[in-house]
Amino acid sequence: MTRVRGLVGADVERLADLPLLTGAARYVADVHRDGEVHARIVRSQVAHARIVGIDTADAEAVPGVLAVITADDLPDVRIPIRLPLADTPRARRVLQPPLARGVVRYVGEPIAVVVATDAYVAEDAAELVDVDLDDLDVVAEVATAADPGMPVLHPDLGDNIVSSYPLHHGDVDAAFARADVVVRERLRMHRHTAVPMETRGAIAEVDPATGRLTLWGGAKVKHAVRAALGEMLSMEPADIRIVEVNVGGGFGVRGEAYPEDYLVAFLALRLRRPVKWIEDRTEHFVATNHAREQEHELEIAATADGRLLAFRDRAWCDQGAYARSQGTLPELLPALHLPGPYRWEAFALETTGVLTNRTPVGTYRGPGMTEAAFVRERLLDVLAGRLGLDPAELRRRNLIRDDDLPFTWSLGAGSAPVPPISYQSGAFCSSFETLLERAGYDELRREAATRSGDTISVGVGVATYVEVGAMGPFEDARIAPAADGSFVVHVGVASLGQGVETVLAQIAGDELGVPMDRLRVDHHDTDAVPMGFGAFASRSTPVAGNAVLLAARDLRTKAAKLLGAEPDDVEFRDGHVHGPGGASCPVQDVGEGRGRFDKPHPTFSFGAALSVVEVERDTGRVRVVRHVVVHDVGRAVNPALVRGQLAGAASQGIGAALLEELSYDERAQPMATTLGDYRLPSAGELPDIEVIVLEHPAPGNPLGAKGAGESGMVGTPAAVANAVADALGATGPQVTTLPLTADRVRALLREAT
């Protein structure tokens, strides 16, 4: 008997498109509960101030207003850190209260909540809450935040340092002493963030009979949010249900436990009515996690013939005003990614998380790795210029060789405890060569030289990276057969638009030998799926996907045992399971298939980006005319969806490199609070992204999959920056910060002449 195979590896159509195309999909703003009322958050307009008094009387007097609450109405609780590896004693001392207690520390910090029967009325009344603030000096820059004499955001911490991650490998001083060339720069990645098209939102309701709380609007890490709310509300997590409806993009920022999740839950418990909050876009720009801002003092030592010896890096990574649910990830992740895919004899780095009076920082697609790739790859191009070497050739000479894998960095005394930085599989050199060949690198270089003239300069840039993904600790899956011959896959993932339900159904269908229309993936509700770690660190396919595969194998094995057959010889068809020789039984007699996939260590995967830009010399305007990304995904379950993920991430990376910036003035006032100020790239600013998907299967997981959802981002800002620098000339002023807006590029062009 042959099994229907071939779903894994095929461009299967996305399962969830129909409601999205017809307007029938239900996002959190579309959820209505009987008797619902609307919350509006009163937020700080200043970056740092003592709260002298809050007068809520005028707001409370507005017809339709049901309640106005401040921190005095709440227990003294903080949003906890989700990941043990990012949880430190110091980070715990700077966690955020849901409403400011005594002091506001960033523009946008919640101070009070107004609840009214109508959202328009709630917004009007919120304007009437009078907050008396006594201004304090601000910390508005990452580079000086930890300096002596700066205002201290959280006095009992003593300074503005959250934590530091030093990592050492080899004898750095000896390597620098041997160097023919040393290059150093201060490089800065700017503040920007995900900006999904749907803002956040939540609606909370208490069942009057049972006291159970339901929160709609979950995403990403529903079970962790359930645990956080349980802790903060003093409720058993089992009495809390988090429901995910359609989600309009996540990219790392949506679905963590935020102040507003707690506030709507608290208010629903207090008012005994469903409470709804939908973030508006201006709130989103100050309330939802920011990302990326870091400054690095990086130096690289090399030989005259272009062999990399060692690097030293000292980095300051912005945490904003509080550590949120992601704890110390803003400084931990760049530390893990600075060495990248090169054969360093030695390195010494230290990344330090610092507090500033700005919106707290979390993870955005490719967190830490995108920043690390930018500073390292940018300085490598500076080095290539100094050596008179082609930038691709410099990388070619120094990438970890294909037969050196697996490869693990040994970390010396004084290094922080971090997960092993271990590259288990892949082919860095040949993958990079594939990119250069398919893009026609040598020809692109010749064309750039001939096309550059007085009005336009053409540049080519490359960047390589390794990316951590497939983080554990584990994922459970359960496959339940139904009487009609269909199967429901229960698994604790989150669908943020990436197509995960399609991919997981493919994996189950492939193993069970049943077609896609017989499969449904249930992941929406913490009541239906008892445990799950969610959608972050490009983990859904490699971790949950393997759990689904194991559950499907378990179901097949159980069915075979029941029929006295071999697992490979049973067939699921028409609500029955059939064995050789006509034996069969209803599929429901088999019970459920269960699988658990443990992932004690994350997987690192390799990728690279190549960008070709045109710089208008008169205006400084940069246009990306070609952009190619390559990534080793281990195994592409659905190549079309993988390509879509890589291209979408690269598009965001081009936006980051050229347009997007969350800038602040010297009083730490945000300058970008609308989509007019914060420029997202449109189809007019983006080329059609070219994607190369490589498959070097990961050992130790049956699917062989690695992460893919973030990869197109990681090398993109670096490649674009290198291309612009190339267009401006290797000996000219250096590109050391992003975004490369027309203003900045004009300034660089003026400097050059």
Partner 1 sequence: MTWIGEDDSAAVDVVVNGRPTAMRVPARRTLADALRDDGLTGTHLGCEHGVCGACTVLLDGRPVRSCLTLAVQAEGADVETVEGMAEGPELHVLQRAFHENGALQCGFCTPGFLMLALGLLRAEPEAPPERVREVLTSNLCRCTGGGPIVQAVLAAQRELAGDVA
Q: In whole angstroms, how close is the CB of 684 to partner 1 at the nearest point? A: 4
Closest to partner 1 by CB, 358 vs 643, is: 643
Among 5, 26, 401, 561, binds partner 1 (CB under 8 A): 26
Q: Residue 389: left if φ>0, alpha if ψ -120 to 50, beta else—which one?
A: beta
Cα three-residue angle 705-337-303, rounded to 5 degrees: 120
- Coil, strand or helix at 11: coil
Q: In whole angstroms, how close is the CB of 487 to partner 1 at the nearest point? A: 24
Closest to partner 1 by CB, 87 vs 118, is: 118
State the virtual CA torsion across 389, 304, 335, 190 in degrees, nearest 10: -50
In angstroms, the Cα distances linking 100 to 108, 538, 702 are: 10, 33, 48
Closest to partner 1 by CB, 249 vs 419, is: 249
Is 196 a binding residue for partner 1 by CB under 8 A? The answer is: yes
Residue-wise over 119-130: b if at least 16 C-beta within 10 A, else e? bebbebbbebbe
Closest to partner 1 by CB, 464 vs 495, is: 495
**Number of neighbouring beta carbons within 10 Å of residue 620:** 19
Is 717 a binding residue for partner 1 by CB under 8 A? The answer is: no
**Binding region for partner 1 (CB under 8 A) out of 80-88, 430-438, 448-456, 644-652:** 644-652
119-138: contacts with partner 1 (CB under 8 A):
120-121
Q: In whole angstroms, how close is the CB of 243 to partner 1 at the nearest point? A: 17
161 DSSP β-pair partners: 354
Is 674 a binding residue for partner 1 by CB under 8 A? The answer is: yes
230-289: contacts with partner 1 (CB under 8 A):
246-249, 251, 280-281
Q: Are 340 and 304 in contact (CB under 8 A)?
A: no
Q: In whole angstroms, how close is the CB of 473 to partner 1 at the nearest point? A: 27
Among 1, 5, 6, 24, binds partner 1 (CB under 8 A): 24
Structure tokens given for 341? 């895919």
Q: Are 540 and 472 in contact (CB under 8 A)?
A: no
Among 242, 471, 504, 650, binds partner 1 (CB under 8 A): 650
Is 410 a binding residue for partner 1 by CB under 8 A? The answer is: no
Q: In whole angstroms, how close is the CB of 151 to partner 1 at the nearest point? A: 34
Fill in the amino acid letter for 649: A
Closest to partner 1 by CB, 89 vs 676, is: 676
Structure tokens given for 441? 């690198």
131 DSSP β-pair partners: 54
Closest to partner 1 by CB, 391 vs 499, is: 499
Q: In whole angstroms, how close is the CB of 433 to partner 1 at the nearest point? A: 26
- Coil, strand or helix at 427: coil
- Coil, strand or helix at 353: strand
What is d(CA 584, CA 40) in angstroms, rounded to the nearest whole number?
59
Closest to partner 1 by CB, 16 vs 528, is: 16
Is 157 a binding residue for partner 1 by CB under 8 A? The answer is: no
Among 140, 496, 563, 694, binds partner 1 (CB under 8 A): 496
**Binding region for partner 1 (CB under 8 A) out of 472-480, 571-579, 651-659, 722-730:** 651-659
**Binding region for partner 1 (CB under 8 A) out of 439-447, 501-509, 572-580, 677-685:** 677-685
Q: In whole angstroms, how close is the CB of 670 to partner 1 at the nearest point? A: 16
Is 499 a binding residue for partner 1 by CB under 8 A? The answer is: yes
Q: In whole angstroms, how close is the CB of 502 to partner 1 at the nearest point? A: 11
- What phi, psi does 393 have (nearest 5°)? -65, -40
What is d(CA 658, CA 655) in angstroms, rounded to the nearest whole number?
5
- What phi, psi does 416 have (nearest 5°)? -70, 150
Q: In whole angstroms, how close is the CB of 116 to partner 1 at the nearest point? A: 12
Closest to partner 1 by CB, 648 vs 704, is: 648
Closest to partner 1 by CB, 119 vs 372, is: 119
Report the DSSP pairing between strands 275-278 and 37-43: parallel
Is 446 a binding residue for partner 1 by CB under 8 A? The answer is: no
Is 198 a binding residue for partner 1 by CB under 8 A? The answer is: yes
- Strand ordering across the sheet containing 49-55: 103-104, 49-55, 130-135
The contacts of residue 148 (CB under 8 Å, 6+ apart) are: none
Among 91, 264, 458, 689, binds partner 1 (CB under 8 A): 689
What is d(CA 682, CA 662) in angstroms, rounded to the nearest whole number?
18
What is d(CA 221, CA 213) in angstroms, rounded to the nearest whole number?
17
Closest to partner 1 by CB, 496 vs 521, is: 496
Among 468, 590, 686, 719, binds partner 1 (CB under 8 A): 686
Tell me the per-residue interface mask from 604 to 643 with partner 1, x by CB under 8 A, - otherwise: ------------------------------------xx-x
Is 675 a binding residue for partner 1 by CB under 8 A? The answer is: yes
Please list the alpha-helical segments (H only) found in 632-687: 639-658
Residue-by-residue DSSP string for 582-598 = G-EEEGGGG--EEEEEE
**Binding region for partner 1 (CB under 8 A) out of 195-203, 288-296, 523-531, 548-556:** 195-203
**Binding region for partner 1 (CB under 8 A) out of 345-353, 494-502, 540-548, 586-594:** 494-502
Is 680 a binding residue for partner 1 by CB under 8 A? The answer is: yes
Tell me the per-residue interface mask from 333 to 352 with partner 1, x by CB under 8 A, - otherwise: --------------------
Is 454 a binding residue for partner 1 by CB under 8 A? The answer is: no
Specify the residue for token string 């937020």.
Answer: 43
Among 2, 155, 688, 753, binds partner 1 (CB under 8 A): 688
Assign 3-state DSSP to the chain and report helix, strand, coil percentages, each to 5.
Answer: 30, 25, 40
- Coil, strand or helix at 395: helix
Is 108 a binding residue for partner 1 by CB under 8 A? The answer is: no
Is 194 a binding residue for partner 1 by CB under 8 A? The answer is: yes
Fill in the amino acid letter for 390: D
Closest to partner 1 by CB, 29 vs 730, is: 29
Please list the alpha-helical segments (H only) found in 589-699: 639-658
Q: In whole angstroms, how close is the CB of 198 to partner 1 at the nearest point? A: 4
- Counting residues that bind partner 1 (by CB under 8 A) gives 57
Is 62 a binding residue for partner 1 by CB under 8 A? The answer is: no
Residue-wise over 657-694: b if at least 16 C-beta within 10 A, else e? bbbbbbebeeebbbebbeeeebbebeeebbbebbbbbb
Structure tokens given for 652? 């965001």
Query: Taking Cα atoms as reference points, which of 366, 79, 159, 187 lies closest to residue 725?
Result: 187
**Rg of the chain on CA atoms, in Å:** 27
Closest to partner 1 by CB, 233 vs 640, is: 640
In angstroms, the Cα distances linking 743 to 368, 453, 611, 619, 657 are: 27, 20, 21, 8, 13
What is d(CA 592, CA 598) in angstroms, rounded to the nearest whole number?
20
Closest to partner 1 by CB, 516 vs 675, is: 675
Q: In whole angstroms, how close is the CB of 675 to partner 1 at the nearest point? A: 4
Is 156 a binding residue for partner 1 by CB under 8 A? The answer is: no
Q: Are 496 and 247 in contact (CB under 8 A)?
A: yes
Closest to partner 1 by CB, 244 vs 726, is: 244
Q: In whole angstroms, how close is the CB of 268 to partner 1 at the nearest point? A: 22
Q: Within 13 Å and on the Cβ side, how many CA atoms surround 143?
A: 8
Is 172 a binding residue for partner 1 by CB under 8 A? The answer is: no
Is 690 a binding residue for partner 1 by CB under 8 A? The answer is: no
Judged by the rule CB under 8 A, the positions of this chain that interact with partner 1 are 13-14, 16-17, 19-27, 29-30, 120-121, 194-199, 246-249, 251, 280-281, 496-499, 640-641, 643-644, 647-648, 650-652, 654, 674-676, 680-689
